[in-house]
Amino acid sequence: MGNAGVEVVDVSKRFRLYHEKTSSIKERFVHPRRMSYEDLWALDSISFDVPEGETFGILGRNGSGKSTLLKCISGILQVTSGKVVVRGKLAALLELGAGFQPELSGRDNIFLNASLLGLSTREVERRFDEIVAFSELEQFIDNQVKYYSSGMYVRLGFAVAVNVDPDVLVVDEVLAVGDERFQRKCLERIKLFQKEGRTIIFVTHAADLVRQICTEAVVLQQGKMIGMGPPGEAIRLFREHLLEGSEEGEFAPGEEVVVDDASRIRSTTGESASAARPLVITGAEIQHPGIGRRQYLLPREPLRLWVAFEAFSALPDVVFAIELHDLAGNLVFGTDTEILEKPFDAVPGTGVADFAFDSVPLLDGTYSVNVGVRSRSGGTVYDWREQLCQFEVMNPGRSLGTVALQPTAEVRALGALGAG
């Protein structure tokens, strides 16, 4: 592991929340001691290192302190205690419109933002066409940015940030605002930065994006760092703490339970799972034609996934979700019972969610299965299990890749060259 590109050392950030508002500066001076306030610690003793050339993810719910931490790293906010050390030039793309002057044109804002990031006017002039081309805003570049849409803001901001050749790139959740094609374009540039050995700090709610591009991630909750590790471990920790802070109730982390079959539930701790959550996933089972004779699935064979659960209270509009990931952590497929139009109201007792695939069009590989259950609104995650089970696909043919397509081919001559 190389030197740290970014060091965050015991960083805390305090905000003061005043209970009363003064109507004028004069009133504040006349009654200086009447202003009551309370301290809000947005960050509390956060420490980690981001090695040079690594892509580091930050996960957390809204209000966990993610954006505050990025602002401290970027120098926009001063820390209350601790320190942040950044080695090299830093470019930050934070919340929508940050750093833009709405009365200025896109052209003027490029020069303004690039100069704030350390470029001279001559350097901006040299890179101006490349910045505009990346943003795809050629016909709007001389319009005032106050007339830009949210997607146009993101395009311009990202185009400036990635074209100043930063050593450290800090990206907040703003990429979710752009359209899908531009998001892909931004991710391609981020992957190019990775190949060039630049340091990237990335905040997103898309856990699978962290799994796909990050080498390590930290999890924040209410300003505290609750864990750090490889993407898979960080995502598991993040989702477990989503269970604790559900909008519809506070649930403690669930115990591990296993299923002997669809009707008999056995707890590994011997305690009642009802003390943890109103509904828990108790196990999963994969079935395919090869079981009993071989442990692998052949391309395009059927597959069935049984998810056992136990409900301890009546829950309307429960949604079961599944995700298939390859060994690299890439999301291969995801769906849920809402997408499949299978509504379900849970009643106290045990049950099984049955997902059937008539054909699995995959080639060689081992695939893990994540399973979750949530409310229909998405506001409550009742349970989520990473890598609950897995299955293997073995390709007896010579085709390459991941997907088992079935093309046909025909080759024919069209006549000799020069023939009439």
Do 4-236 and 249-393 have matching folds? no
pLDDT tens per residue across span 227-258? 998 887 888 788 777 665 544 333 233 333 33
How long a stretch of residues is the chain?
420
State the residue for tokens 């999301």.
Answer: 331
Give the number of other CB atoms < 10 A from CB of residue 6. Answer: 23
Q: In what order do the strands lie in the sheet with 349-357?
A: 279-287, 303-311, 349-357
Q: Would you call 121 exposed, middle or buried from its count of C-beta atoms within 10 A (0-12, 13-18, 19+)?
A: exposed
* Arithmetic mean of pLDDT, 377-406: 85
**Where in the chain are the domains?**
4-236, 249-393
What is the pTM for the complete model shown?
Answer: 0.65
4-236 in CATH: which number?
3.40.50.300
Fold of domain 249-393: Coagulation Factor XIII; Chain A, domain 1 (2.70.50)
- How far apart are alpha carbons 58 and 68 in whole angstroms? 12
* Arithmetic mean of pLDDT, 190-217: 85
The mean predicted confidence, pLDDT, of the chain is: 81
Q: Which two tokens stand for residue 76?
A: 């926009």
Report pLDDT for 22.
58
pLDDT at 363 over 60: yes
Report pLDDT for 74.
87
Residue type, 158: F
Kindly state the DSSP code that residue 289 receives in the 8-state scheme: T
Report pLDDT for 262.
35
- How far apart are alpha carbons 57 and 119 in whole angstroms? 27
Name beta bridge partners: 59: 219
Report pLDDT for 25.
61
pLDDT at 81 over 90: yes
Distance of CA 9 to the CA centre of its chain: 24
Of 196 and 165, the structure prediction assigns the larger pLDDT to 196
Rg (alpha carbons) of the chain, rounded to whole number = 26
Report pLDDT for 269.
31
Distance of CA 314 to the CA centre of its chain: 31
State the residue for tokens 């809000």.
Answer: 40
Question: What is residue 244's three-state secondary structure?
Answer: helix
Q: Which band of pLDDT confidence, cut at 50, 70 and 90, is reported for residue 176? A: low
Q: Which of 312, 253, 248 is nearest to 278 (CA)?
A: 312
Residue type, 370: N
Q: Would you call 419 exposed, middle or buried from its count of C-beta atoms within 10 A (0-12, 13-18, 19+)?
A: exposed
Instruction: Tell me which of 91-100, 311-320, 404-413 is least confident.
Output: 91-100
- How far apart are alpha carbons 131 and 137 in whole angstroms? 9
Provide φ and ψ at 130, rounded to 5°: -65, -40
Cα-based torsion angle of the residue sequence 106, 108, 112, 117 in order, rounded to the nearest 10 degrees? 50
Report pLDDT for 314.
94
